[in-house]
Chain A
C-alpha cells in the first residue's frame, strides 16, 4: 500500500478547495486522469533536480521508504514555466539539495510519481505550486 510504504498522510482538504484545484489542473497539455485527485498525499525528501521545462516542470525527489530504508526517486509533474513565471516563480524557486515536503496527487497505478499541489520548505514556508493558470481572473476584479 502506498500509504504504508511512505507513511503518507491523507489531506483533509475541503470539497470546495479540492474542486478549485481539480478545475484548474484539468487544463493544459494533456489529460490528468492518471492522477488520483480524490486522495492527495504528502512525501518528504531531498530535491534531486528541478526541471524548468515546457510543457511541464518536473521535480525529481529522493524519498526514503521507511519500511526498507531504500531511497526511491519520485517524478513529480508540475505546471509549465509559462504559468509559474507569471505567478512569481523563477527557475531557482526550487533548488537541488533542499529538504521539502510535497503535497501531490499520486499516480493511480502506484508508481512513484504524481502532480504537485504545494511545496513545504525546510523553514516551514509553503508555496502553492498548483497556482491558478492564466485563465483565472481573480487578480482583475469581479470578472
Chain B
C-alpha cells in the first residue's frame, strides 16, 4: 500500500496517536520513578519533594526534546518509502511541520496523565506523585 496525499490526515493522526501513547507511557514510567523517592522526616530542609519535581521536569523536557528533534522525524522518515514519490516531498514537509504540534499535544498528555493518576489513583500510587504538583497545600509549593 502506498500513501498518497489524501492519506496525509490519517498519517498525522497516526503520528499523534503514537506520540500520545508514548507520552502516556512516559508519564507512567516517570510517575513510578517519583514513587521510588522515599518520604523523609528530617530537621534539615526537606529535599524529597524537590527531587520528585526534578524527575517530573526531566521527564517532561527529555520527552519533548526527543519527540520534537528525533522521534517525530524518525517516524516520518520511516514512512517515506511507502509514500507516493510524486507527493513524498510535500507530504514529508507537511508531516514534519506537524511534529511540533504533535509534540506539544503529547506534552499536554504527559502532564495531564501524570496529574490525573497522581490526583485520582492515590489509593494505588500513594501520595508521593501528588507532591510534585502540590506541597505545603500550594501549587508547586509556591502559589
B is a partner of A: no
